[in-house]
Amino acid sequence: MSKSKNILLAVTGGIAAYKAIDLASRLVKGGYNINVLMTDNAQHFVNPLSFSSIIDKPVVTELFNQESPIEHITLADWADLTVIAPATANIIGKIASGIADELLSTTVMATTTPVLLIPAMNTNMYTNPIVQSNLKKLHNFGYKILPPASGRLACGTYGEGRYPDNEEILFAIKSFLTHQQRDLEGKKVLVTLGSCREYLDPMRYISNVSSGKMGLAIARSAYFRGAEVTVVAGKITEKLPHYLNAVEVTTSAEMAEQVFKHSDAMDIIVMNAAVTDFQPIQEERDKIKKESLSDTIELAFKPTTDILKELGNRKKKDQILIGFAAETQNIEENARKKLVGKKADMIVANHINTAGQNNTEMLLVTTNKAEPVSGSKLDAAHKMWDFIGRNEL
Ligand SMILES: Cc1cc2nc3c(=O)[nH]c(=O)nc-3n(C[C@H](O)[C@H](O)[C@H](O)COP(=O)(O)O)c2cc1C
């Protein structure tokens, strides 16, 4: 479906303009139809030729153009999504004020499809109350905004304002092309994800194959739908998105502690992490030496805290509790047992072989229903929120 979508990539005059070249390249590789628009000031930073070579067509730069006199309307009608990356304080201010005095601001004024802004600038510029107020105004008008990351900025200072990873921008693009609803606005969502480790000694541990990709898709999609998202993350194979409140843990005991610390304040809890069900009875302080072992090794385990069950017991009125079940057989039957046993509102059951993959097939199991959803993990996560939004719990 994404193959035929039209994306207008608009580049403004920020120091991060060069990073939009990589974004254009990834979008072309992703199969999207791309047009690139550059402001006059963006061309001080990057030559349009860099973009035109990637998209294999000219970059649009002129509002008053004899050959294409109403370029701004043509582009606005063509785009399924406009992405302004990077978005300067200047363009944010102009759009928020209704100014249309060059090609980009005029095109945005004529656009009826979603516009995604990627603000990137010096920290003092970003935290300036005027910029913050403009961003809030744009948010209230329905503009999509991916906040900048924190870190070292090109001007040598540290703080908020950094252009985010293009990988995160791609997730936002994929999300906003298909899902624009803000049905989780005002909701606090807790998502656990990844795998836990239980140590035998300082070097060795038992764990499982969970990558955290599904949990990240749930957290990202919840954030894009307006939720304030906290993640308690075990070990994962990807970088945590900069816009989530994240707590990183290693063992199931640490995960339990952090989940119980945050759970009371949450409207929705999604227990996606693959928490280890058991842990060694003893964790050796020093490395177990090979010579100290005989031919066969016997390890003794004890159960870990059943976090989902405990959350089910503590569940507040109106709180939604969702558990995950990775199974190898009798998927629905096992999910139904878990639904009742843990007092959850829904169990998302999936086959264990989807771990680490980018796509998934899941079964949303509630008291009355078993709805299959599939697709990319981000897409499946959105379908899960759609299901919850239809009050099907
Ligand atoms: C070296 C340099 C770097 C700049 N970097 C940024 C930036 O990262 N973000 C930003 O908002 N403005 C930045 N500016 C200021 C913008 O270029 C300026 O506000 C300009 O008017 C933006 O024009 P445009 O929004 O039409 O592209 C920078 C200016 C210079 C000279």
Concerning whether 155 is annotated as a catalytic residue, the answer is: yes
- CB 121 near ligand 1, within 6 Å: yes
What is the pLDDT of the chain when averaged over all its residues? 93
- CB 10 near ligand 1, within 6 Å: no
The total number of residues written for the chain in this structure: 393
Among 62, 90, 92, 101, say which to mutate for ligand 1: greatest number of ligand atoms within 8 Å of CB.
90
Q: For residue 281, what are its two tokens?
A: 């009875």
Same domain, 231 and 169: no
Same domain, 43 and 151: yes
Among 9, 15, 155, say which to mutate for ligand 1: greatest number of ligand atoms within 8 Å of CB.
15
pTM of the predicted structure, to 2 decimals? 0.94
Could you give the CA distance from residue 384 to residue 95 in angstroms, rounded to a whole number?
Answer: 34
Per-residue pLDDT at 69: 78
- 183 part of a folded domain: no
pLDDT at 322 over 80: yes
* pLDDT above 90: percentage of residues in the chain: 81
pLDDT at 298 over 90: no
Write down the residue that tokens 């990319």 correspond to: 376
pLDDT in tens, 109-157: 999 999 999 999 999 999 999 999 999 999 999 999 999 999 888 777 8
Of 355, 350, 354, 356, residue with least CA distance to 371: 350
Q: Whose CA is nearest to atom 13 of ligand 1?
A: 14
Per-residue pLDDT at 353: 75
362 neighbors 372 (Cβ within 8 angstroms): yes
Buried b / exposed e across 302-330, counting CB within 10 Å, b at 16+?
eebbbbbeebbeebeeebbbbbbbbbeee
**Which of the listed residues 152, 178, 204 is the one where a domain comes to its end?**
178
Write down the residue that tokens 């060694």 correspond to: 280
Same domain, 221 and 91: no
**Reduced to 3 states, what is the DSSP secondary structure of residue 85?**
strand
Same domain, 158 and 78: yes
Q: How many CB atoms lie within 10 A of CB 30?
A: 15
Supply the CATH number for residue 345's domain: 3.40.50.10300
**Which of the listed residues 120, 151, 178 is the one where a domain comes to its end?**
178
Of 167, 168, 173, 149, residue with least CA distance to 159: 149
Could you give the CA distance from residue 275 to residue 192 in angstroms, rounded to a whole number?
Answer: 9
**Reduced to 3 states, what is the DSSP secondary structure of residue 316?**
coil
The tally of domains found in the chain comes to 2
**Ligand 1 atom nearest residue 89's Cα:** 11
Supply the CATH number for residue 91's domain: 3.40.50.1950
158-162 and 149-152 strand pairing: antiparallel
Q: Which domain holds residue 216?
A: 188-389
Same domain, 168 and 258: no
Same domain, 209 and 283: yes
| 291 vs 251, more confident | 251
pLDDT at 2 over 50: no
Same domain, 140 and 250: no
Same domain, 45 and 78: yes
Per-residue pLDDT at 1: 44
- CB 88 near ligand 1, within 6 Å: yes
The active-site residue, picked from 70, 155, 265, 299, is 155
Same domain, 201 and 141: no
Write down the residue that tokens 């995160």 correspond to: 168
Per-residue pLDDT at 292: 77
Same domain, 173 and 192: no
